[in-house]
């Protein structure tokens, strides 16, 4: 019985059941006036932004119009960075998609293939960030006829400065 109770507590915690306005989840992106667009607005309270993995069977799946193929096509057409030896690893861009399908609060994380922090060329990072910011086909998550804000991320696997794969 004890193992079952602990499992339920872990699942409830992962689903955000214990999240209050004063408690944050790992990966949340609070507003930063130094970097974020003040015109980007959430549709609900800060604490109600859904994590990307909270989809549930009663949710309409969020995502991008045309799904991953559309995203890959956009990056293939717009990304133009020269082959650069040593520009290998992962760049992850995390952001919020609001209930209107608009994106904001972009954050960038960079690491090598060894999963250790790494600094890529600022021009390379800026190009990926600019293309990500320009994406306008985000679909909000909905449940019972109501749309919600949610977190999203794109991870770029780079080899010699070239996009090898876009995850997820």
- CA dist., res. 100 & res. 32, Å (int): 21
Q: Give pLDDT tens digits for 132-160.
A: 999 999 988 877 788 889 999 999 999 99
Mean pLDDT of 47-66: 66
Q: Which of 6-10, 40-44, 82-86, 149-153 has the lowest mean pLDDT?
A: 6-10
**pLDDT score of 87:** 96
Token code pair at residue 85 = 């030896």
Instruction: Between 135 and 59, name the one with better pLDDT.
Output: 135
- What DSSP line would sit under 135-165, residue for residue? ---EE-EEETTEEE-EEEEEEEEEETTEEEE
- pTM (2 d.p.): 0.78
**What is the domain partition of the chain in residue ranges?**
25-167
User: 74, 57 in Cβ contact below 8 A?
Assistant: no
Closest listed residue to residue 140, CA positions, set 46, 69, 70, 42: 42
Strand ranges (E), the chain: 59-60, 63-64, 89-97, 103-111, 138-139, 141-143, 146-148, 150-159, 162-167
Q: Give pLDDT tens digits for 92-123.
A: 999 999 999 999 999 999 999 999 999 999 99
Average pLDDT value for the chain: 81
């Amino acid at each position: 019985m004890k193992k079952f109770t602990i499992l339920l507590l872990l699942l409830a915690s992962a689903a955000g059941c214990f999240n209050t306005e004063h408690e944050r989840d790992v990966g949340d992106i609070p507003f930063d006036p130094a970097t974020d667009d003040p015109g980007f607005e959430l549709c609900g309270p800060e604490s109600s932004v859904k994590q990307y993995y909270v989809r549930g069977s009663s949710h309409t799946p969020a995502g991008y119009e045309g799904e991953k193929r559309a995203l890959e096509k956009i990056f293939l057409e717009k990304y133009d960075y020269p082959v650069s030896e040593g520009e290998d690893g992962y760049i992850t861009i995390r952001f919020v998609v609001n209930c209107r399908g608009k994106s904001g609060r972009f954050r960038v994380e960079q690491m090598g293939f060894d999963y250790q922090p790494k600094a890529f060329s600022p021009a390379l990072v800026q190009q990926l960030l600019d293309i990500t910011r320009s994406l306008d086909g985000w679909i909000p998550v909905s449940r019972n006829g109501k749309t919600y804000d949610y977190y999203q991320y794109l991870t770029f696997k780079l080899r010699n400065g070239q996009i090898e794969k876009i995850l997820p």
